[in-house]
Amino acid sequence: MKVEEKGTRFEVREGPHGIKLPVYMDNHATTPVDPRVLDEMLPYFTERFGNAASRHHAFGWVGEQAVEIARERIAKLIGAAAEEIIFTSGATESDNLAIKGVAEMYRAKGNHIITVVTEHKAVLDSAKHLEKHGYRVTYLPVNKDGLLDPDDVKGAFNDQTILLSVMRANNEIGVLQPIAEIGKLCRERGVLFHSDATQAVGKMPVDVNRESIDLLSISGHKMYGPKGVGALYVRRENPRVQLSPLIDGGGHEHGMRSGTLNVPGIAGLGKACAIASEVMPQEACHIAGMRNRLKDTIMRRLEEVYVNGSVEHRLPGNLNLSFAGVDGESLLMGINDVALSSGSACTLARVEPSYVLKALGIPDELAQSSIRFGIGRFNIEAEIDYVADRVSEAVESLRELSPLHATAKPPRTS
């Protein structure tokens, strides 16, 4: 299908109070590249274009230096050592390398892996792949707030367990899992602990040693860096983690991930981490304030609005709301000057409720009425107020048109 047929011509126009339309509030899907990150990257496309693996001339040396500076910046942000950072194409590859790499390397020790029903598909699909090859996988449930019970983790361990994978922050509902407590349990049992921290790194403190994390996945484009680059933290001592590579050819990245390094992207990811190290505490506080302003404004104007996931244990910029009596896809179509995501997944011709929301025990009707708001570094308060007004007006209009809303009484409270 041609782009024109989908009506996706992109035009920026002036909105009220000096804001630019459309308003972007889908920062969990991707973030804009910070201009400071772009400035860091640009020279490596042109005059500093050398291959970081070229060891016999200055072009290669400059590229290698950029990679090592980025490695140090990433390591500093998560409390690791620079040599523990492996560059990948993004978090999906990092998740695959961590899970499949451990599974193959430690097959002689055991064939049991534990994860959670609300994980990202990169983790869940990797686990399902391993099941086809004789591994046993336990998928732990979460409670109605989206939180994992550490007692469930403890009860799932057996003498064949080699790996537990639990995400640091959920990509849909922003819930923060009790990672330090879970990591301690893994350390006591000698089980390796992987965490997909794609949504968390750069937005909140992450410390791989304090939280007993052995493998951790990172993506550049979730933290104002470029797309197509990520990293995997791999612990080198206490315990030393070994991985079977997914990609062979050349032995790059300590033999764990062969292939010519994306030097511009890596430099950008490093700069994004350096910026986060400086601004994260103040930025998180500011973004959380805007998130709360959005939530309070919408819930003050509308009845039967429900927050999905723990309010207390949550990413600063995440807000996931269900609007009773309203279809999420219809709501998004009604506010096409705001970029948001629905809690539904399109599968072929069907629209199905989010598996994450269903795991919380949310009825299908409410799950299909959910909207994810992702507030980020470049959003301003005028945009928050504009989005609250647009959403509230659209919900009111859709409810007036719905013959079901007057009788709909969702069987739950926030």
- The tens digit of pLDDT for each residue in 372-399 reads 999 999 999 999 999 999 999 999 999 9
Q: Is residue 414 part of a domain?
A: no
Is 346 designated active site?
yes
Choice among 15-19, 62-66, 206-210, 285-289 with the minimum mean pLDDT: 15-19
Tens of pLDDT, residues 311-330: 999 999 999 999 999 999 99
Q: Is residue 413 part of a domain?
A: no
Residues 227 and 291 in one domain: no
- 82, 124, 133: which is closest to 103 by C-alpha? 133
Residues 257 and 341 in one domain: no
Q: Is residue 302 part of a domain?
A: yes
**pLDDT value of position 405:** 61
Residues 346 and 253 in one domain: no
Please state, in angstroms and rounded to a whole number, the distance separating the CA atoms of residues 25 and 339. Answer: 5
End of a domain among 275, 300, 328?
275
Structural domains counted in the chain? 2
Q: Give me the DSSP letters along 221-286.
A: GGTTS-TT-EEEEE--SSSPP----SS-SS-TGGGTS-S---HHHHHHHHHHHHHHHHHHHHHHHH
CA angle 311, 232, 159 (to 5 degrees): 80
End of a domain among 241, 275, 309?
275
**Domain range enclosing 341:** 3-33+279-407
End of a domain among 220, 254, 275?
275
Burial of 30 (0-12, 13-18, 19+ CB in 10 A): middle
| Helix or strand holding residue 161 (H, E) | strand 161-165
Residues 108 and 162 in one domain: yes
Q: What is the CATH number of the domain that holds 83?
A: 3.40.640.10
Query: Structure pTM?
Result: 0.93
Look at residue 66 and tell me whether its pLDDT is greater than 70: yes
Look at residue 1 and tell me whether its pLDDT is greater than 50: no
Residues 315 and 238 in one domain: no
Q: Is residue 376 part of a domain?
A: yes
Residues 400 and 270 in one domain: no
Residues 29 and 73 in one domain: no
**pLDDT value of position 344:** 64
**Residue in the structure block whose two tokens are 């046993």:** 136
Q: Is residue 412 part of a domain?
A: no
> Which of 186, 273, 285, 346 is flagged as catalytic?
346
Look at residue 359 and tell me whether its pLDDT is greater than 70: yes
Look at residue 9 and tell me whether its pLDDT is greater than 90: no
Q: Is residue 154 part of a domain?
A: yes
Q: Is residue 373 part of a domain?
A: yes
Helix residue spans in 42-120 (DSSP H): 58-78, 91-105
Q: What is the CATH number of the domain that holds 308?
A: 3.90.1150.10
Residues 197 and 208 in one domain: yes
**pLDDT value of position 350:** 61
Tens of pLDDT, residues 179-199: 999 999 999 999 999 999 999
Residues 149 and 259 in one domain: yes
Residues 218 and 94 in one domain: yes
Please state, in angstroms and rounded to a whole number, the distance separating the CA atoms of residues 179 and 167. Answer: 8
Tens of pLDDT, residues 257-312: 989 899 999 999 999 999 999 999 999 999 999 999 999 999 999 999 999 999 99
Residues 201 and 322 in one domain: no
**pLDDT value of position 250:** 81
Handedness of CA 174, 178, 179, 180 (dihedral sign): positive
CB 230 within 8 A of CB 265: no
Residues 243 and 260 in one domain: yes
Residues in Cβ contact with 38 at an 8 Å cutoff, skipping those fewer than 6 apart: 268
Q: Is residue 116 part of a domain?
A: yes
* pLDDT, mean over the chain: 93
**pLDDT value of position 414:** 46
Look at residue 349 and tell me whether its pLDDT is greater than 90: no
State mean pLDDT over 227-255: 93
